[in-house]
Structure 1
Amino acid sequence: MSEVTPEAPTGQQFTIAHGPFEATVVEVGGGLRSFTKDGMAVVAGYAEDEECRSGRGQQLMPWPNRIRDGRYEFAGQSQQLSITEVPRDNATHGLVRWALWELLEHEPESVAVRYRLHPQPGWPHQLDLRTTYVLDDTGLIVTPAARNVGTRPAPFGYGAHPYLSIGSLPIDDVELHVPAATWLATDDRMLPTRTHPVDGTRYDFRHGGRAGSEILDTAYTDVRRDDDGMWRCRVQSEAFGSVTLWADAAFPWLQVFTGAAHLHKGAPGVAVEPMSCPADAFNSGTSLVVLEPGEEWTGTWGIHPG
C-alpha cells in the first residue's frame, strides 16, 4: 500500500520573493498565509500545516463583515443566505474564503489567483474574482478585482483580513495610528447602529495611542488620505518597530480588530482590514458597489514595514 502524503490544510502554496521579502498565498480562499522580511514576520499568519483561524489573511467577497439574519433585498427580490455566524444569527464574511481558488499566473515576484462565483441560495449572481499579489522594494501590493459576468446587476463589497505582526509584545503596549475621523457603533450582534466622531473617545487614534486592554473590533471611515491618495494605518512599538497598511480610494472604510491578540488566538497581531463598505451594506446601501453586467470593480492595498 503506497504512503499518502498529506496536503496542507489550505491546499496549494504559492510563494513569491523579492529582495528581503517573501510571501505565500494559498489555494483555499486565495488568501495571504505569510509575509516576511529577512525571515521575520510582517503579518501574523500561520504555518503551512495549520488551518486558517480567526480569518487570518482571508479575502471577504462579495461582502465583508456581517449581513443581518443573512437576509437582504436587492432589485425587488428578497434573498436568504446561509447563516455562517450561528451565535449571532448572521451571514458573515462572504462566500469565497473557504473556496478553492485557481492559479492564474505565478512569477518569481508575483502571483495571481481567480475564482468564478456562481449563483447559489441567497446569491443569484455570477462574478469573476481575481487577486494579484506583488512584492517590490516597498513590500507587498495586493490588487483585487471583481467583474460581473452575469445578466443582472449585482451588489458587491470587498474586505481583506491581514493581521499586522506585533512580535511577542503584549497588545496593551502596542501603539495604533488610525487616520479616520468617524467610527461605527455596533449592537450585541456586531451589526451597525450609527456613526460617531472619534473626537474625545477611546476610538481616536489619529495622532497615535495605545491599543489598551479593551478589545477593539471597530469600523472606521472619513479617512484622511496622504498626497498620493492613500490612507495609511500603522501598528507600532519601540521593541518591534512598525508595520503599515495602506489603501487607495476604493477603500473608504477600514476595520481594526485586536481580539485575537487579547485572547491569544494564534500569533499575536492586529487585524487592519481594508474594506469597500461596512457591515450589513447589502441592507443599508452604505458605500455598496452595484456592478452592472460587464462592469468591473478593482482596488489596491498593501503592507510595508516601517
Structure 2
Amino acid sequence: MSSDETTTLTAGDAEVTVRPENGCRLGSLRIGGAELLRQGDKYGAFPMVPWCGRIRDGRFRNGGDSVQMPLNSPPHAIHGTVRDGKWRTARTPADKDVESNEAVFTYDLVDPWPYPGKVTQIVELAEDRLTLRFGVETYGDSFPAQAGWHPWFKRNLGNGGEDVVIDFSAAWQEERGADHLPTGRRIDPLPGPWDDCFGMPDGVRVTLTWPGELELTITSPEQWVVVYDEQAEAVCVEPQTGPPNGLNSEPRLVTPIEPLEATTTWSWRRL
C-alpha cells in the first residue's frame, strides 16, 4: 500500500511503514501486531546520511575544502541531513512488473550539504526479516560520507512482558570523551548504560530479546555500531559505515566510479 505520505509493506504477520515525507524513516515495524519502534515524528528508525553521529564542531575537510555544517546539536552537527528532507518514492510492490516485496526511495543531497549527490534507500520485507540498503552517489566532485540507520526500539513491548535485553560481543569500544565523541583510543568494551560506538571487524551482530515474546537480531557487513540505552522509553542499535566524527577520523570517499553502499538485516523469531 502506498500514498503520498506513507508506503506499507506486509509479509505474513509482519508490517513495516515508511514515511518518505519525514526523512524516509520507518514509522512503524509491527510483528504479530506488536509495535517494535517508538512512535513519534522524531523516532521510528531514520537514515543517517551523509554522516552518522556527531561531527566535532560541525567541521570536516574534503581535500583543500574546509566545510562547516549547521550545529543542530551544539557544539556539534549530528546525524546527517537526509532525515530532515522529503524523499521521493521511486518504486513500490504495487508498480507493474515488480515481483519482490520491496520499495525504493530516493533523495537528492541539497544545501546545507555542499556536494550534489543522490541517496537511495531500499526497504525489503519478508515474513521473518527486514533488509535495508543504502546507496550514496555523487553528481560531481568526490566527497567523504557515511551511511547508517538509527532505530528507536521500544524498551518494553507493552504486553505485560519484561524489558528488552541487549546482547553483543565487540572487539573494542571507542573511548568516549566528555564531548561524546571518540578520543581516538580503542578500549575493552565496558558495561552499560551506553551511548557508545563499538567495533565489530567481522560485521555487526546485536541481539535484542524481549523475554518470552520476541528475539530480533541486527546484522550488517559494516564493522561499526552505536548502542544507546540511556532513555527509559527506548534503546537504539545503529549499524553504520564509520564511527562518530568519522568524516574526520575514518573518511570514506564517494567518487564518480565508487558509490558508498551499506546494508543491514533485522531478523526475528517468536519466543
Describe the SS at the equivalent of 1:293.
coil
Deviations 1:73-92 (A, max 9, x none): 21111111111002xx1011
Q: Hey, what does 1:14 align to over in structure 2?
A: 7
Which one of 30, 54, 66 corresponds to residue 78 of structure 1? 66
Q: Hey, what does 1:276 align to over in structure 2?
A: 241
Q: Is the contact made by 1:171 and 1:258 (CA closer than 8 Å) also made in structure 2?
A: no
State how far apart, in whole Å, the 2-side matches of 1:177 and 1:232 are: 9
Q: Hey, what does 1:148 align to over in structure 2?
A: 138
- Percent of matched pairs sharing the same residue: 23
Stretches of structure 2 lacking an aligned partner (at least 5 in a row):
95-100
Q: Is the contact made by 2:161 and 2:211 (CA closer than 8 Å) also made in structure 1?
A: no
Deviations 1:198-240 (A, max 9, x none): 36x32xxxxxxxxxxx531111003444xxxxx3210124243
Residues 214-293 of structure 1: matches in 2 within 5 Å? Answer: 215-225=193-203, 231-248=204-221, 251-260=222-231, 262=232, 268-284=233-249, 286=250, 288-293=251-256
Which one of 40, 49, 56 corresponds to residue 34 of structure 2? 40
State how far apart, in whole Å, the 2-side matches of 1:291 and 1:170 are: 47
Q: Hey, what does 2:48 align to over in structure 1?
A: 60
Q: Hey, what does 1:97 align to over in structure 2?
A: 83
State how far apart, in whole Å, the 2-side matches of 1:35 and 1:172 are: 19
Moved more, 184-193 or 91-100: 184-193
Aligned AA (1:221)? G
Q: Hey, what does 2:102 align to over in structure 1?
A: 110
Give the 3 Å change call, closer, same or farther, for CA 16–114 of structure 1 in structure 2: same
Q: Is the contact made by 2:116 and 2:138 (CA closer than 8 Å) also made in structure 1?
A: yes
Q: Is the contact made by 1:245 and 1:303 (CA closer than 8 Å) also made in structure 2?
A: yes
Deviations 1:163-205 (A, max 9, x none): 3344249999543211311001222221111333436x32xxx
Q: Is the contact made by 1:235 and 1:270 (CA closer than 8 Å) also made in structure 2?
A: no
Residue 44 of structure 1 and its aligned partner are, at CA, apart by 1.7
Describe the SS at the equivalent of 1:107.
coil
State how far apart, in whole Å, the 1-side matches of 2:8 and 2:207 are: 25
Residue 295 of structure 1 and its aligned partner are, at CA, apart by 2.6
Aligned AA (2:180)? M
Root-mean-square deviation (Å): 2.2
Stretches of structure 1 lacking an aligned partner (at least 5 in a row):
1-10, 203-213, 226-230, 263-267
Q: Is the contact made by 1:167 and 1:269 (CA closer than 8 Å) also made in structure 2?
A: no
Residue 299 of structure 1 and its aligned partner are, at CA, apart by 2.0
Moved more, 168-177 or 58-67: 168-177
State how far apart, in whole Å, the 1-side matches of 2:243 and 2:182 are: 8
Instruction: Give the alignment's TM-score, normalised by structure 1.
Output: 0.78
Aligned residues: 258
Residue 137 of structure 1 and its aligned partner are, at CA, apart by 3.1
